[in-house]
């Protein structure tokens, strides 16, 4: 019994000692008069031997403040500087200062009577700063209904009453996707809070420990947008909202049996067509799809963000963001950002970023990183010495990376 009491007392003393050693319990003294916040934190950090990190969008570094404290716990000093809307967390030798997260809220109004639709409206906000987020995409996955927030972060989404269950998802570049359960057949006002993805917090750290370049590297966001939106073709043919919506939803794709488009944005799947991978795709003038698994025919053009399989025909051009497997024919040109496995025929030229495993035919120009098969065109270009090229000018690279020019026929070399 006595041993048990001694052990318990030892554990209590040990925990008390550990707690006393916590960063926020350290005592500091400071006297500052109308100094910028970041300078005040630097003074405190040097005395307490800690570093501070915070989101500079949530906390303004240049705010002038006055503070005076003598041998006060660091937690108290920070509370003198920041109001109750902020919280402090320890992580290693860092104290992270952040706003308390904003939560998602919902207000449900009276049910609609004999109405075919109900409305979901509200705001999308940053869960830390509380700032309204423009150009976020709000969508219902099953029926592919979507909306976007305006410059004030406000949106309205119209859903059909005939479906008994509903949930909406919210996506925005640099934020984590969020799903919200919706009470079907009721008009609702919601505030949806999004969290920034890990690693995107702007860190304000003591420059004595980190160089400016290192801080820039820490704060650099991971950027891996879909290829099509970065190309000239996307800037010319798509509206800014179409491009933003596509980038927001780059992780969401769904499948359907077919799709029909008049032009990009006017299709059987509406604004969400770029996230749909179809078996069959028919585009009267042109289409902008997620991908195709069987047949795609376009009066003028076909544009696909991901893979296309089997058959793709266009009056003017085809653009594929990933890989093409099968037969691809266009009267003007074909452009594939991945590889081609099959037969590619372009009236004027073909451009393939990676490998062609098959045959590439154009009247003017063919280009591929490597060819395991045959190129036929007036000018043929490849970055390796693999494959065979038939044309007036055939350009490849030798082992030293220098251009090698041949005429009429180029045979593969080891």
Per residue in 60-113, pLDDT (tens digit) is 888 888 888 888 888 888 888 887 778 888 888 888 888 777 777 778 777 666
Query: Distance between alpha carbon 194 and the CA centroid of its chain, in Å?
Result: 14
User: Do the Cβ atoms of 230 and 119 come closer than 8 Å?
Assistant: no
Helix (H) or strand (E) holding 21: none
User: Do the Cβ atoms of 217 and 312 come closer than 8 Å?
Assistant: no
The larger pLDDT score, comparing residue 114 to residue 274, is at: 274
Reply yes or no on whether the pLDDT at 376 is more than 50: yes
How high is the pLDDT of residue 4? 53
C-alpha distances (whole Å) from 402 to each of 149, 182, 392, 405, 413 are 51, 61, 20, 10, 15
Nearest to 171 by CA among 203, 202, 149, 200: 149
Structure tokens at 16: 């008390």
Give the largest CA-CA distance in the chain: 99
With a pLDDT cut of 90, the percent of the chain lying above it is 46
Reply yes or no on whether the pLDDT at 215 is more than 50: no
How high is the pLDDT of residue 199? 55
Q: What single DSSP character describes residue 334?
A: E
Which pLDDT band, with edges at 50, 70 and 90, does 272 fall under? very high
How high is the pLDDT of residue 31? 87
User: Do the Cβ atoms of 40 and 30 come closer than 8 Å?
Assistant: yes
How high is the pLDDT of residue 226? 64
How high is the pLDDT of residue 196? 85
Strand blocks (E) in 242-323: 254-263, 266-267, 276-283, 286-289, 291-298, 301-304, 308-314, 317-320
DSSP string covering 47-58, please?
Answer: HHT-EEEE-TTT
How high is the pLDDT of residue 222? 38
User: Do the Cβ atoms of 98 and 128 come closer than 8 Å?
Assistant: yes
The larger pLDDT score, comparing residue 226 to residue 14, is at: 226
Reply yes or no on whether the pLDDT at 398 is more than 80: no
Tokens 């990009």 identify what position? 264
User: Do the Cβ atoms of 275 and 259 come closer than 8 Å?
Assistant: no
Comparing 191-205, 229-243, 381-395, which segment has the lowest mean pLDDT?
191-205
Judged by phi (left if over 0) then psi (alpha if -120 to 50, else beta), residue 187 lies in beta
Q: Is 181 helix (H, G, I), strand (E, B) or coil?
A: strand
Mean pLDDT of the chain: 84
The larger pLDDT score, comparing residue 72 to residue 341, is at: 341
Q: How far apart are CA 68 and CA 33, in angstroms?
A: 8
Which pLDDT band, with edges at 50, 70 and 90, does 337 fall under? very high
DSSP bridge partners of 349: 333, 365
pTM score of the predicted model: 0.72
The listed range with the strongest mean pLDDT (224-233, 234-243, 312-321) is 312-321
Comparing 167-181, 345-359, 389-403, which segment has the lowest mean pLDDT?
389-403
Structure tokens at 238: 């798509």
Give me Rg for the CA atoms of the chain: 30
- What is the dihedral angle through the alpha carbons of 70, 75, 78, 82, rounded to the nearest 10 degrees? -140
Phi, psi dihedral angles at 308 (to 5 degrees)? -125, 135
Structure tokens at 42: 């630097």
Which pLDDT band, with edges at 50, 70 and 90, does 19 fall under? very low
Reply yes or no on whether the pLDDT at 202 is more than 80: no
Reply yes or no on whether the pLDDT at 221 is more than 60: no
The listed range with the strongest mean pLDDT (34-48, 58-72, 227-241, 264-278) is 264-278
What sign has the CA pseudo-torsion 58, 96, 197, 219?
positive
How high is the pLDDT of residue 48? 83
How high is the pLDDT of residue 340? 97
How high is the pLDDT of residue 125? 93
How high is the pLDDT of residue 7? 47
């Amino acid at each position: 019994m006595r041993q048990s009491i001694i052990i318990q007392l030892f554990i209590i003393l040990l925990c008390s000692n550990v707690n006393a050693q916590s960063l926020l319990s350290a005592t500091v003294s400071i006297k500052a008069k109308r100094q910028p916040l970041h300078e005040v934190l630097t003074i405190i950090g040097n005395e307490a031997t800690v570093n501070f990190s915070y989101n500079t969008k949530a906390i303004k570094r240049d705010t002038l403040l006055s503070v005076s404290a003598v041998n006060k716990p660091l937690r108290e000093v920070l509370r003198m500087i920041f109001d109750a809307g902020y919280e402090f967390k320890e992580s290693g030798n860092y104290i992270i200062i952040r706003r308390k997260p904003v939560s998602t809220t919902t207000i449900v109004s009276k049910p609609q009577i004999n109405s075919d639709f109900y409305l979901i409206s509200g705001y999308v906000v940053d869960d830390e700063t509380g700032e309204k987020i423009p150009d976020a995409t709000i969508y219902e996955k099953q029926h592919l209904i979507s909306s976007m927030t305006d410059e004030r972060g406000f949106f309205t989404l119209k859903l059909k009453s005939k479906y008994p269950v509903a949930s909406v998802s919210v996506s925005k570049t640099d934020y984590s996707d969020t799903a919200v359960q919706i009470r079907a057949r009721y008009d609702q006002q919601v505030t949806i809070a999004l969290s920034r993805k890990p690693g995107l917090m702007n860190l304000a750290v003591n420059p004595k420990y980190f160089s400016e370049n290192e801080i820039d590297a820490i704060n650099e966001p991971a950027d891996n947008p879909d290829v099509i939106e970065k190309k000239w073709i996307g800037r010319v043919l798509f509206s800014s909202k179409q491009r933003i919506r596509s980038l927001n939803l780059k992780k969401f794709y769904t499948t359907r049996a077919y799709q029909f488009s008049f032009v990009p944005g006017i299709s059987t799947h509406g604004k969400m067509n770029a996230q749909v991978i179809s078996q069959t795709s028919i585009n009267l003038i042109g289409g902008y799809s997620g991908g195709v698994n069987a047949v795609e025919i376009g009066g003028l053009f076909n544009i696909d963000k991901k893979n296309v399989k089997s058959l793709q025909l266009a009056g003017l051009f085809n653009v594929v963001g990933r890989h093409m497997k099968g037969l691809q024919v266009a009267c003007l040109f074909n452009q594939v950002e991945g590889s081609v496995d099959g037969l590619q025929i372009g009236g004027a030229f073909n451009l393939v970023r990676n490998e062609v495993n098959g045959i590439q035919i154009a009247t003017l120009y063919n280009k591929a990183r490597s060819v395991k098969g045959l190129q036929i065109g007036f000018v043929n270009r490849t970055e390796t010495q693999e494959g065979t090229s038939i044309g007036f000018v055939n350009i490849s690279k030798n082992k030293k990376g220098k251009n090698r020019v041949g005429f009429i026929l180029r045979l593969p070399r080891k």
